[in-house]
Structure 1
Amino acid sequence: MKFLYYTGLFLSLMFSANSFALEQQYQQPIVDLIKAFKNHDKAAISSHIRYPLSRTYPVPDINNEAELVERFDDVFDKTLIKQIVDSNIDTDWDKVGWRGIMLNSGVVWVDTDGKIIGINYQTAKEQLLAKNLIAADKQALHPSINAFVEPILDWQTAKYRIRIDDLGDGNFRYASWSIDKKTSDKPDIVLLKGEIEFEGSGGNHSYTFKNGRYSYVLQVTVIGCDTSPPGWLEVYKDDKRILSQDIINTGS
């Protein structure tokens, strides 16, 4: 999908100047991972993944080994498997500081234990699934916001439901409801012309929407620690932060 492409492109450009050759101590877990793919051993591959494995919204995340085995062909097609199997441990895998180890400028990310933590690739099968889910998503939304090019996120904090959609040409839309309402209800707030900003070289980014003196900021965590929330909502009045809430449900 378009957003996945731009994110992957940004990461590859940023990391090309900040990656380092893979040290000997990290090579064996990668060798084991490559071997599992070479043998097409789904059980072994599923044990080499850090769960939940995020997928591009609205495709649901993969939460455990059983789900990975069931959805294996959705995530890994011949093209991606070939990239992994044919990869050279010395030239195709790079350690990028604390963020982890990447294959081919970020197509696949693994941690230092050799477990996959991210895949910046979408198979044709998963693209079709996403297309069907988006169509169903549009049917379920309030008519005032069911027109968009691509859904970006559907989140919940303790008090709010929040949705961001790409309306095309980089025009992002913010819609929110109180937590007791459904997305089929008319949104309490709708804001247009949001701006996306990438922060540092880790891929974490934010969306900012203006409403007079107020700014609504959605911080998105791409690479964080085990306890990092997927993101959080901040609201500012002028330059003073008046609200900050962690995301507790990603809607996927």
Structure 2
Amino acid sequence: MIKRYRYIIKLIQADKAEELSKLVAYPLKRENPLKDIANAKEFIAYYPVMFDAAFKKKLSGFRGSAVMEQHGNFGLVGEEFSGEMWLNEKGLIMSVNYISKREQDLKDQLTKSIQSKMHPSINHWDQNVLVLQSPKLLIRIDRTIGNNIRYASWSKGRPTSEKPDLVLNNGLEEAQGTMGGWTYTFKSGDWTYVIDDVEMCEKDDQCGYFLNLSFKGQDKSSTKLKSIK
């Protein structure tokens, strides 16, 4: 995998976007509210936004000792790196966690545009974590001032410009151990709302996002959610 990293870095530094696009596991996720990259054509068009001179300079210091294996994936986490890129077991780029200045500016513009259209009671947030949808609900998980994790939901058909049906603050964010994924837990009286982001599973229908509700510790319902942006 070290040899594959050296080849990928060579392509990035030479701006070989078309060749690099063939070595990506799509969709390549970008931080909300940025659009995920769905295919090679979109990757080639977006390449100049994602990879800048600063990133290429950092990659020039690559050494094999920077590569760490975790759950069959290989990340740049050693030396001067902190997880900027990950390859899957096939040697395809599965994530790019680096954000260029140009991409950050685009993210900031999109954030302001979305905030301007939301209800005043919930239009102030530092980072959108998730936007999820079920047949009956639209749910947002946002990181607000002071690292507060907030849950807001609207019933089907109601836009975010209207006041949410439910807002829960002070959520607990937890990594799901060695299996990957995240869990977000919120309390409302005797009710507990849990958003599970399940990344590792034996069957496809067991992976994804789920809203699990319990009352006084007793499970009441589990609904699969779709991630949207």
Does the TM-score normalized on the shorter chain lie above 0.5?
yes
CA contact under 8 A between 1:154 and 1:162: conserved in structure 2?
Answer: yes
2:17 aligned with 1:42: yes
Q: Which has the higher strand share?
A: 2
- Partner Cα distance (2:34, 2:116) in 1: 16
Task: Say which of 94, 100, 107 aligns to 1:117.
Answer: 94
2:80 aligned with 1:106: no
CA contact under 8 A between 2:182 and 2:196: conserved in structure 1?
Answer: yes
Give the gaps of 5 or more residues in structure 1.
1-25
The number of residue pairs the alignment matches comes to: 223
When structure 1 is superposed on structure 2, of 164-173 and 56-65 the one drifting more is 164-173
Q: How far did 1:209 drift?
A: 0.8
2:191 aligned with 1:242: no
When structure 1 is superposed on structure 2, of 125-134 and 198-207 the one drifting more is 198-207
Task: Spell out the pairing of 1:57-206 with structure 2 (5 A cutoff).
Answer: 57-88=32-63, 90-98=64-72, 100-104=73-77, 105-201=82-178, 203-206=180-183
Q: How far did 1:52 drift?
A: 0.7
- Partner Cα distance (2:96, 2:105) in 1: 17
Give the gaps of 5 or more residues in structure 2.
none
What letter matches 1:96 in structure 2?
Answer: Q
Please state whether the residue corresponding to 1:174 is helix, strand or coil: strand
What letter matches 2:212 in structure 1?
Answer: E
Q: How far did 1:85 drift?
A: 4.5
- Partner Cα distance (2:132, 2:7) in 1: 36
Q: After the TM superposition, which segments of 4 or more aligned residues of structure 1 sit over 4 Å from their partners?
A: none
Indicate the structure whose relative CO is greater, using CA pairs within 8 Å and at least 6 residues apart: 1
Aligned counterpart, 1:207: 184
Aligned counterpart, 1:53: 28
Aligned counterpart, 1:8: none
CA contact under 8 A between 2:134 and 2:224: conserved in structure 1?
Answer: yes
- Partner Cα distance (2:126, 2:68) in 1: 34
How much identity, in percent, do the aligned residues show? Answer: 30
Output the TM-score relative to the length of structure 2: 0.88
2:8 aligned with 1:30: no
CA contact under 8 A between 2:2 and 2:67: conserved in structure 1?
Answer: no
Task: Provide, for residues 193-249 of structure 1, a one-character-per-residue CA deviation record: whole Å limited to 9, x for no partner.
Answer: 11111221455221111001101111224x54794644221111122221212222x
- Partner Cα distance (1:85, 1:45) in 2: 17
- Partner Cα distance (1:158, 1:33) in 2: 41
Q: 1:229 to 1:137 in 2, by over 3 A?
A: farther
What letter matches 2:220 in structure 1?
Answer: I
What letter matches 2:75 in structure 1?
Answer: M
- Partner Cα distance (1:51, 1:80) in 2: 21
